[in-house]
Structure 1
Amino acid sequence: MGTITTTDGTEIFYKDWGSGQPIVFSHGWPLSSDDWDAQMMFFLRHGYRVIAHDRRGHGRSTQTGDGHDMDHYADDLAALTAHLDLRDAVHVGHSTGGGEVVRYLARHGQSRAAKAVLISAVPPLMVQTEANPGGLPKKVFDDIQAQVAGHRSEFYRDLPATAFYGFNRPGVEPVEAIIQNWWRQGMMGGAKAHYDGVVAFSQTDFTEDLKKITVPVLVMHGDDDQVVPYADSAPLSARLVRNGTLKTYPGFPHGMPTTQAETINADLLTFLRS
């Protein structure tokens, strides 16, 4: 574990375990690298080098007041890969982290990358516009910002207890430890970073970024995702990249890397070995 300091003075915390082909994990909003525990332990056991960082303003990284946009997120990721001199890396992004991976590959090139995986990811564009009529109304994201600004702790308890993991679905038993771990990670980060991050993940259009990606991309998404609706995300992203594969999971929720880790890890391993 360590930190790097970016050109604007932000300290980025990261974990770097093992040896072998590197897998770099980019986490979702408003969490931290800890959200990848199930994946990092699994792939470490299978002989990979596993790396994950806390996005600026999240987890143990600097709670800076600015730079909470996809360009800065991508630049921070590029700084980390350069610092560690990673080659032949597989980049895996969940939710907002999927947007970070897409912007990184488009903005900084793919010479260090072998493959990419987008899990429950926000691209191509979440918010509803004239060009994206299937997106979610901007009011949805305005309401999230209002909750972050005024009732963050309560909101961070309610979201994982309901839509994030599908614990609001009939017959699904909530797991209190998972809910509390989500809350813990969220409250480690900064309110300003999380507030601005809502705009970053919802209003960034990744269409042109996706078109630039030539490495193989696996797009994994549950069709019962209540956070990033399936129809306006995964199928579109898989078509926009040049070498994309779509894998759809019936009934799986947004947080499926945690609640369905066994299935997700096995499919990731198959993709890495292919």
Structure 2
Amino acid sequence: MSTVTTRDGVEIFYKDWGTGQPIVFSHGWPLSADDWDAQLLFFLGKGYRVIAHDRRGHGRSAQVGDGHDMDHYADDLAAVVAHLDLENAIHVGHSTGGGEVVHYLARHGESRVAKAAIISAVPPVMVKSPANPGGLPKDVFDTLQAQLAANRSEFYLGFAAGPFYNYDRPGAKPSEAIIRNWWRQGMMGGAKAHYDGIVAFSQTDFTADLGKIGVPVLVMHSEDDQIVPYADAGPLSAKLLKNGVLKTYKGFPHGMPTTHADVINADLLEFITR
């Protein structure tokens, strides 16, 4: 397997296919680089070099007990970029991965970056506070941690079969294969990383990070996202970015890169090539 070892000794797995301009994909919680299959194959076929890594504690990366926070996530991404010596890269992040991309750009600069896209992403900040009255109550995330600790396997199966893909909506037609693949990816990772990751994706405030970013950023979000509610995420991020463009979808789920890959891939390609 292809891996890079970070400064603090953590082995990070990555895929690196093709040649051409690099597109780097950062996955959502609690998944792995495999969640980008539809995008990796599509953009590989369009002549791009595609790279996707497993976040620390997730997928095939080392199941370490610490460092499950946005600083380490961004630094691990930077380690992959430096190891592969990527230039003029396009960064694409989904959900927690969107936060990872935003924090990476703000923390490590844009000298190696051409553009970015964040999909169903957690910025600016998810948890409710006096500064973010439209956020979700902390109890929501505490409950997620409690469910994970009680029975991670059952929790993940229900999460994928329900709100992640909007399979709990009236008239929905759940895909057993998609549900099982989500569960498979989740159970590949470590419980400690996933437990701590809930705090990382829900409580990190990316407001200042967004204001530092100057490269063009496409913000893609559905109005029917049940995991990262639209009103407190996509539109606010687009406004805070210096060069952000908001693309809004109706009726798509949080996991729209999988369920609506044809639409998402086409919109990403149009943004990349414009």
Distance 2:225 2:104 in 1: 24
Query: Where do 1:47-62 residues align within 5 Å?
Result: 47-62=47-62
Aligned length: 274
| CA RMSD across the alignment | 0.5
Q: In the alignment, which residue of structure 2 is the partner of 1:265? A: 265
Give 1:150 deviation, angstroms: 1.3
Distance 1:262 1:125 in 2: 29
Distance 1:8 1:217 in 2: 30
Distance 1:186 1:240 in 2: 32
Give 1:171 deviation, angstroms: 1.2
Q: In the alignment, which residue of structure 2 is the partner of 1:86? A: 86
Q: In the alignment, which residue of structure 2 is the partner of 1:97? A: 97
> In structure 1, what residue type is equivalent to 2:237?
S
TM-score, normalization by structure 1? 1.00
Q: In the alignment, which residue of structure 2 is the partner of 1:63? A: 63
Q: In the alignment, which residue of structure 1 is the partner of 2:46? A: 46
> In structure 2, what residue type is equivalent to 1:243?
N
Q: 177-186 vs 146-155, which deviates more?
A: 146-155
Q: In the alignment, which residue of structure 2 is the partner of 1:190? A: 190
Distance 1:132 1:151 in 2: 31
Give 1:183 deviation, angstroms: 0.2
SS at match of 1:231: helix
Distance 1:147 1:7 in 2: 33
Give 1:170 deviation, angstroms: 1.0
Distance 1:44 1:30 in 2: 25
Q: In the alignment, which residue of structure 1 is the partner of 2:5? A: 5
Q: In the alignment, which residue of structure 1 is the partner of 2:73? A: 73
Deviation per residue, 1:198-230 (Å, 9 max, x gap): 000000000000000000000000110000000
Distance 1:172 1:222 in 2: 16
Distance 1:44 1:219 in 2: 22
Q: In the alignment, which residue of structure 2 is the partner of 1:137? A: 137
Q: In the alignment, which residue of structure 2 is the partner of 1:176? A: 176
Give 1:2 deviation, angstroms: 0.3
Give 1:9 deviation, angstroms: 0.8
Distance 2:151 2:224 in 1: 27
Give 1:21 deviation, angstroms: 0.3
Alignment of 1:120 onto 2:120: yes
Q: In the alignment, which residue of structure 2 is the partner of 1:28? A: 28
* Residue ranges of structure 1 left out of the alignment (5+ in a row): none
> In structure 2, what residue type is equivalent to 1:102?
V
Percent identity between matched residues is 76
Deviation per residue, 1:217-265 (Å, 9 max, x gap): 0000011000000000000000001000000001111000000000000
Deviation per residue, 1:75-117 (Å, 9 max, x gap): 0000110000000000000000000000000000000000000
Query: Where do 1:228-267 residues align within 5 Å?
Result: 228-267=228-267
Give 1:147 deviation, angstroms: 1.0
* Residue ranges of structure 2 left out of the alignment (5+ in a row): none
Alignment of 1:148 onto 2:176: no
> In structure 2, what residue type is equivalent to 1:104?
Y
SS at match of 1:75: helix
Deviation beyond 4 Å, 4+ runs, structure 1 = none
Q: In the alignment, which residue of structure 2 is the partner of 1:163? A: 163
Give 1:172 deviation, angstroms: 1.2
